[in-house]
Chains A and B, each alone.
Chain A
Amino acid sequence: MIKESFTLRGVEFKNRVLVASGTFGYGNEVKELVDVNKLGGICTKSLSWKPRDGNPPRRIVETPSGMLNSIGLANVGVEYFIREKLPYLRTLDTVIIANIAASSIQEYCDVLSLLEQQEGIDGYEINVSCPNVKEGGLSFGTDCSKTREITARLRTLTAKPLIMKLTPNVTHISEFARAVEEAGADAISVINTVIGMAVDIYKKKPKLSTVTGGLSGPAIKPIALAKVYEAAQVVSLPIIGIGGIMTAEDALEFLLVGATAVQVGTANFIDPSAGVKVAEGMRSYAQRFGVSDLGQLVGAMESNKEFSVLQSWL
């Protein structure tokens, strides 16, 4: 029997594979195609205080080994979520993480406080890293003191797991990891999408309506691995690795560089059961190589830190 589970502030996840916010709706869209109870957890689509329409089309562009999106946090709003979406999520036997996005610190607090009063939310992931909205999003996530302040404020409002989702669009993600650890976060999700763009050479226009968008998919996996590795050098809180994970092999790379768990994101668009398959593949790997607890793999990469270029500025 291989131990796949891990615990975050008293909440037990049955395995180390979650599905990423914004790539799995509110869990019920694909229930016919995938047994969601085989996932370690579900991060909901970002919730804001009021419903958000999102950005005008075009919102999606395929790119080499990945895609750009500029959804703009389109979501039903927290009240509708509680009324219409949460009852289904409550019936599931997996960890439910409510992802929160906001355009002010007060809005983060209001949404979290309202969710605190509900049954069925196991923890929170705070999106301070959406590259596709003008207010909130990156303007928080690229400001270390704001990120710290949001973390500290939300910490006072909940005893449940508080996960800060960080952006790679900063010079040193390790500084942000340190700041949120000091402010009381329980974990960090690394990374949100990488700012990117694509151009229509015939129309001489950007392909996305918002000019730039967020790049995801296998194209960003090497970036994500380096960011997880960097953060892991300076914090002791658990890291949830995200970025282009399509297979168990991808997920194992994240564990080895220091991630306690992973989120499968864009892969869900191609195969909604990708997350379940990644979890199964990790189990097979553990069986094959005699790993009794997947936790033994976390940070188990052997490397000569003397040669690590990162060390010079960590």
Chain B
Amino acid sequence: MILQHVAPVVSNTLIAEGIFLLTVEAKDIARSVRPGQFVNVRSTDGSLPFLRRPFSVSNTRGDLIDLMFNVVGQGTRMMASRRIGDTLDVLGPLGKPFGFAGNFKTAIMVGGGLGVAPFPILTRQLEEEKKSLLTLLGARSAKHIVAKDLQNTQIATDDGSAGFHGTVVALLESSLQSKALADPKIFGCGPTPMLKALSEFAQRSGIECELSLEGDMACGVGLCQGCPVETSHGSRKYALVCVEGPTFNCHDIILR
């Protein structure tokens, strides 16, 4: 059930370089959202910025939902300026959650940049399912790392200022080379080039892999047809990220 909430802001905190964690009260969304789903947020009543912005739900606590965002443009600047008591128009929960199918024992979460966003809520669910957890995070530098509410975390940075010097996918490769994991499954989220590398690695290694994609979407609910991703098989050339994703099995899509 999709819901529209005028959600009061409960807190809005700078948690890393340019990265905010915004918490709003949105009871019915908080109670029904599952890991990997997102909300579409309107940051103003006016027409600048004009469209809603999609954000993964990062975590929930009771009636509250956490949204993690990077300040990149006008919409996120306005979200960063929201104070306690202000409201945000939030539509959700949207999209298909991460799938837990398959007999995996170890969940490897691989996040690039803000791709870490859905991992806290995913971690909670995986813990409930009694899975072993490994979390690999890639960031530009030590200042950009967000590792709250995660388990068994390893870091990769582009500049080597923390952890492994290199990409998070390279960290994954080296990590699995040094220590094989029992029945692993990968959950990936991040920018498309990183997901593409991750998908290639997973397929090469024969590891099950679910990816959470970003899409340029207007509506988030399947009306605008604006967020296609290429499918690898079947009669349709494209699937919609908003309603058929944002999570996909890496075998089902082609990233470019």
**Chain A residues in contact with chain B, CB under 8 A?**
22-25, 29-30, 32-33, 45, 51, 53-54, 56-67, 69, 71, 74, 217-218, 246, 266, 268-272
Contacts and interface: CB of A to CB of B under 8 A. Distances in A.
A99 B216 CA distance: 25
Given A57-B216, A62-B49, 7 more contacts: A25-B223, A54-B228, A59-B216, A62-B51, A63-B50, A64-B48, A66-B50
Contacts of B219: 268-270, 272
B223 A23 contact: yes
B225 A57 contact: no
B51 A56 contact: no
B223 A56 contact: no
A269 B51 contact: yes
Interface in B206-239: 215-219, 221-230, 236-238
Contacts of B236: 51, 53
B84 interface: no
A218 to B, nearest CB: 5
B96 interface: no
Contact of A67 (B218, B221, B223, B229): B218
A53 B238 contact: yes
Contacts of A59: 216, 225-228
A45 B1 CA distance: 23
A97 B250 CA distance: 39
B223 A60 contact: no
Interface of B: 1-4, 42, 47-52, 91, 215-219, 221-230, 236-238, 243
Q: Is the interface of B mostly helix, strand, loop or mixed?
A: loop
Contact of B51 (A33, A45, A51, A270): A270
A71 B226 contact: yes
Given A25-B222, A53-B236, A74-B225, A60 B217 contact: yes
A39 to B, nearest CB: 14
Contacts of B215: 57
Nearest to A207: B216
A54 B226 CA distance: 10
B48 to A, nearest CB: 7
A54 to B, nearest CB: 6
A59 B225 CA distance: 8
Looking at B4, B48, B51, B215, the one whose CB has the most chain A CB atoms below 10 A away is B51
A53 to B, nearest CB: 4
Contact of A270 (B42, B227, B238): B42
Contacts of A246: 47
Contacts of B228: 54, 56-57, 59, 74
Contacts of A23: 223-224
Nearest to A62: B51
Nearest to B42: A270
The 6 closest A-B pairs by CB, nearest first: A60-B226, A53-B237, A269-B219, A269-B218, A65-B47, A29-B222
Given A33-B2, A65-B50, A58 B223 contact: no
Contact of B224 (A33, A56, A60, A64): A60
21 contacts: A29-B222, A30-B2, A32-B2, A33-B2, A33-B221, A57-B216, A57-B228, A58-B216, A59-B228, A60-B217, A60-B224, A60-B227, A62-B49, A63-B50, A74-B228, A74-B238, A217-B50, A269-B51, A269-B218, A270-B42, A272-B221
B227 A57 contact: yes
Given A57-B216, A57-B229, A269 B223 contact: yes
Contacts of B225: 22, 45, 54, 59, 71, 74
Given A53-B237, A59-B228, A30 B221 contact: yes
A271 to B, nearest CB: 8
A61 B2 CA distance: 24
Contacts of A54: 225, 228, 238
Contacts of B47: 65-66, 217-218, 246
